[in-house]
């Protein structure tokens, strides 16, 4: 039995799909959003769905203590603009600590979502071997994630296998509900479909030309494939980057979207809002040496191939869900 939290969200729902692809269907899906409000699991096989607060009573049952093998904890508030510190700490830090402690107590393994937001502006690079005490995130969301990373590495009683995953710019099917937090690929597709053009922020940093800020874009199918691989290979415990390992520009991404849509590229340049200038990442690049040295697989979905799959097999269809 595998518990997946955030299972009615983006990466969590795709992880349920990934497990199903491998013949694993004894899944307890957990989310704060009920299936009557949004159902990203309608095509997947699960054993049971629980609302977020019902996870704790379930974990006290003999069924959970005996049958659960892994908890894949993707549930969180993932808004990088959230300003309620107590809400973030409760949802992202303390909730994860409780799961970690339960797994340690009962000998269960755990994967949890950290974030590339923990790296801040990248002044120390984007290296998953960096001491989390040294990292300075640019926003409260990143702070809530690095707080847990710092706590986890200090624990002497741990789950037998535990992995914190620093997701970079993940995009792909089932992200449609995320609004402002959805990927540029998703927003670009809809903008181009509606207007024939794409709006991108001008650079507010003289070191970068317009459209040439660089991000490590990674397809959700790579991410869930890696999580399944962690469950199989069980490398050394700790925090790992989840990125392609090579940054690409916004213009590269835009070009991929226009090409997949079969239309000519047209960009409208917009002024970057004052409220995000101080916390904007101009460059991210997942250092993947630790991951590859552990015998894990490199990314399988280059940007252009991933964007084409996303647009042609999901976004352009009436039924967009995985």
In the annotated binding site, the residues are 10-11, 31-32, 38, 52, 74-78, 91, 145, 169-170, 178, 180, 187, 201-204, 215, 280
Backbone angles phi, psi at 172, to 5 degrees: 145, -175
Among candidate residues 65, 178, 259, 290, the one labeled active-site is 178
Residue 316 half-sphere exposure toward CB, CA atoms < 13 A: 14
Q: Kindly tell me the burial class for residue 257, based on how many C-beta atoms sit within 10 Å of its own C-beta (0-12, 13-18, 19 or more).
A: buried
Residue 284: CB partners within 8 Å, gap ≥ 6?
116, 119, 122, 126, 168, 169, 214, 215, 216, 243, 247
Catalytic residue flag (residue 141): yes
Backbone angles phi, psi at 116, to 5 degrees: -65, -15
Please enumerate, by residue number, every residue annotated as part of a binding site for substrate.
169, 180, 187, 201-204, 215, 280
Among candidate residues 141, 163, 219, 240, the one labeled active-site is 141
Cross-strand pairs, 112? 73, 164
Q: How far apart are CA 153 and CA 137, in angstroms?
A: 18
Q: What is the 3-state secondary structure (H, E, C) of 162-208?
A: EEEEEECEEECCCCHHHHHHCCHHHHHHHHHHHHCCEEEECCCCCCC
Please enumerate, by residue number, every residue annotated as part of a binding site for NADP(+).
10-11, 31-32, 38, 52, 74-78, 91, 145, 170, 178
Catalytic residue flag (residue 176): no
User: Is 321 strand, coil or helix?
Assistant: coil
Catalytic residues: 141, 178
């Amino acid at each position: 039995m595998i518990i997946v939290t955030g299972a009615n969200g983006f990466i969590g729902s795709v992880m349920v799909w990934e497990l199903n692809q491998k013949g694993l269907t004894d899944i307890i899906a957990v989310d704060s959003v009920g299936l009557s409000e949004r159902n990203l699991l309608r095509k997947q096989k699960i054993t049971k769905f629980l609302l977020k607060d019902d996870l704790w009573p379930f974990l006290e049952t003999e069924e959970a203590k005996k049958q659960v093998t892994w908890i894949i904890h993707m549930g969180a508030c993932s808004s990088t603009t959230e300003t309620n510190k107590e809400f973030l700490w409760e949802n992202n830090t303390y909730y994860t600590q409780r799961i970690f402690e339960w797994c340690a107590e009962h000998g269960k393994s755990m994967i949890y979502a950290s974030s590339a937001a923990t790296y801040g502006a990248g002044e120390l690079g984007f290296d998953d071997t960096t001491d989390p005490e040294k990292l300075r995130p640019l926003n409260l969301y990143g702070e809530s994630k690095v707080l847990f990373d710092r706590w986890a590495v200090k624990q002497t009683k741990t789950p037998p296998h535990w992995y914190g995953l620093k997701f970079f710019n993940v995009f792909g099917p089932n992200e449609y509900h995320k609004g402002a937090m959805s990927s540029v690929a998703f927003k670009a597709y809809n903008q181009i479909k509606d207007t024939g053009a794409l709006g991108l922020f001008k650079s507010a940093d003289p070191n970068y030309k317009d459209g040439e800020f660089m991000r490590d874009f990674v397809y959700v199918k790579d991410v869930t494939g890696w999580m399944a691989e962690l469950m199989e290979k069980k490398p050394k415990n700790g925090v790992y980057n989840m990125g392609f390992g090579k940054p690409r520009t916004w213009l590269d991404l835009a070009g991929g979207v226009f090409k997949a849509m079969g239309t000519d590229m047209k960009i409208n340049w917009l002024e970057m809002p004052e409220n995000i200038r101080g916390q904007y990442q101009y460059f991210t690049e997942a250092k993947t040496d630790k991951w590859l040295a552990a015998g894990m697989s490199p990314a399988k979905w280059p940007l252009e191939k991933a964007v084409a799959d996303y647009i042609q097999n999901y976004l352009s269809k009436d039924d967009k869900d995985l």
